[in-house]
């Protein structure tokens, strides 16, 4: 296991739940050099800390924390309320969500306006935390 387990679960959640075809979902590792569409959602998962506590018999309680970053972008000049409506859809996907096994949970969500010459962009940041027992 590792951070990749959390990343995979969070990415699959977003892909399965994002249904708004007016703003395509892009991934952080999209092909370089391609121009983004006028309106889009960009997903990135940023792992942060990892702590381990020894439980004995080569077992550890592993706690991982990080952030899901979703950039919501609309063309400059379009009503900003349109961007905030997309933000509402993103937050609904992750608000108080937990994985089926309960090991991964999403927590507080914050937003920031991001400077861009081509888009009105809002960064949605979702805190997540996972706690699992793992073998060494």
Q: Are 25 and 13 in contact (CB under 8 A)?
A: no
Instruction: State the DSSP string of 49-66.
Output: EEEEEEEETTEEEEEEEE
Span 32-57, pLDDT tens digits: 667 788 999 999 999 999 999 999 88
Range of the domain at 110: 3-135
CATH code, 98: 3.30.2000.20
pTM for the structure as a whole: 0.91
C-alpha 126, offset from chain centre = 6
Rounded-to-integer distance, Cα 76 and Cα 94, Å: 27
Q: Does residue 2 register a pLDDT over 90?
A: no
Q: How many domains does the chain have?
A: 1
Q: Are 71 and 83 in contact (CB under 8 A)?
A: no
Percent of the chain with pLDDT over 90: 84
Which structure tokens are listed for 7?
A: 């990343």
Question: What pLDDT does residue 28 have?
Answer: 78
- Tokens 């793992």 correspond to 134
Closest CA to 1 of 67, 54, 50, 45: 50
Bigger pLDDT: 42 vs 2: 42
């Amino acid at each position: 296991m590792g951070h990749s387990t959390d990343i995979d679960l969070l990415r699959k959640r977003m892909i399965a739940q994002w249904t708004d075809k007016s703003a395509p979902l892009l991934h952080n590792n999209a092909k370089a050099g391609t121009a983004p569409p006028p309106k889009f959602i960009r997903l990135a998962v940023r792992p942060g800390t990892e702590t381990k506590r020894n439980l004995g018999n080569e077992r550890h309680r592993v706690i991982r924390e990080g952030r899901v970053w979703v950039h919501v972008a609309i063309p400059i000049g379009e009503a900003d309320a349109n961007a905030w409506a997309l933000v509402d859809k993103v937050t609904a996907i992750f608000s108080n969500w937990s994985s089926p096994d309960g090991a991964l949970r999403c927590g507080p969500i914050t937003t920031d306006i991001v400077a861009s010459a081509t888009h009105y962009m809002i960064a949605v940041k979702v805190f997540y935390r996972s706690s699992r027992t793992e073998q060494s």
